[in-house]
Amino acid sequence: MDNDIWTIKAALDWTVGYLERKGDENPRISAQWLLAEACGLSRIELYTRLDQPLSMDERDVLRGYVTRRGQGEPLQYITGEVGFRHISVRVRPGVLIPRLETEVLVSEALALLPPAPRPRAKDEEAEAAAEGEAGEASTAGPPSAEAPEPEPLLVADLCTGSGCIACSIAYEHPLTRVVATDLSPEAVALACENVAELGLNERVEVVECDLGQGVDPALVGRFDLVVSNPPYVPASVLAAIPREVADFEPALALDGGEDGLDVLRRLLPWCACALKPGGGAAFELHESCLDEAASLARAAGFEQARIVSDLAGRPRVLTVRKMVS
């Protein structure tokens, strides 16, 4: 295609064929994402502009993208962004790519918290204002005291990676204040970027440390929730993971030791100290580990152990609560 005009249709067809020959499992989807990113369009817009020619700059960008994808690099690293629940976060090599399974973890973690206050609709506010004016006109006496502000809910997100969990919880629950930790400097830098991009600096703090070691000691015992997507892939499974993961994503964020529970065994004692009585914890783990993980949590003094399946029906998330007494 070097001497031809590259229309969107021609570029799409060529990219699909190239990626098929390179063994891409979903070459058309990959081609759509890469071409849309190179042209600054949505995937739907591609199909409304099939005859539109690509500029020379767009062609050069697409060539680079396709070469990287042909070498097995994940799409998310190439485009630099991924949608996660109700937000988008930046991603880049050296930090684990957020997965759909982790969206389930966030749902279960949020369910362990008191519900977020429901915003008042405009018509409800107008009605309340009208009632207040009528009451002032017909009665005398001092105004009633305003309801006290609800207390913030403290959340710790350990092994935060890109910060997708911490940012989602803060974004979706306005009462939460989140401390997000990670051992990797690359992850901490990226999480800070995502926090800033989403305007959550006032409610999400990112700390570089091993698990909870860098958390302010004054907060220990006051957390309402601890959530974690720790390294959890068992050694036997890690040896057989797809090349796209093994060659490009950080082993530090994947390796869970012989049975996948090495990090969880270190997490549970910290959670037992950090949580307030009745506080909840949620962990994403490998499907082969959940029963043993629940036993470890009970032995560490937690109750209400619950195993939740991911969208593919595989056991994926463990939730527990700290005993009240």
DSSP assignment string, 235-277:
HHHHTTS-HHHHTTS-GGGTB--SSS-HHHHHHHHHHHHHEEE
Fold of 92-114+150-322: Rossmann fold (3.40.50)
Dihedral (C-alpha) 82, 88, 89, 90: value to the nearest 10 degrees?
60
DSSP letters spanning 132-172: HHHHHHH--SPPPPPPPPPPPEEEEEES-TTSHHHHHHHHH
Per-residue DSSP letter, 117: P
Q: What is the pLDDT of residue 119?
A: 62
Residue type at position 64: G
- C-alpha distances in Å from residue 199, one per residue of 151, 164, 193, 195: 21, 13, 10, 6
Residue type at position 105: L
At which residue do the structure tokens 């057989």 appear? 240
In angstroms, the CA 102 to CA 310 distance is: 9
Return the half-sphere exposure (C-beta side, CA atoms, 13 A cut-off) of residue 311: 8
Q: pLDDT tens digits, the chain, 325 residues: what are they?
A: 455 788 999 999 999 999 999 988 899 999 999 999 999 998 899 999 999 999 999 999 999 999 999 999 999 999 999 999 999 999 999 999 999 999 999 999 999 999 877 765 555 555 555 555 545 544 445 555 566 778 899 999 999 999 999 999 999 999 999 999 999 999 999 999 999 999 999 999 999 999 999 999 999 999 999 999 999 999 888 888 887 787 788 888 888 899 999 999 999 999 999 999 999 999 999 999 999 999 999 999 999 999 999 989 999 999 999 998 7
- C-alpha distances in Å from residue 261, one per residue of 61, 111, 132, 268, 280: 42, 24, 57, 11, 19
DSSP letters spanning 93-104: TTSPPP-HHHHH
CB 192 within 8 A of CB 169: no
The model carries a pTM of 0.85
Q: How would you classify residue 322: left for phi > 0, otherwise alpha for psi between -120 and 50, otherwise beta?
A: beta
Q: What is the pLDDT of residue 194?
A: 98
Question: For the chain, what are the domain ranges?
Answer: 8-72, 92-114+150-322
State the angle between helix axes of 290-299 and 262-274 in degrees (0 to 180), rounded to the nearest 10: 40
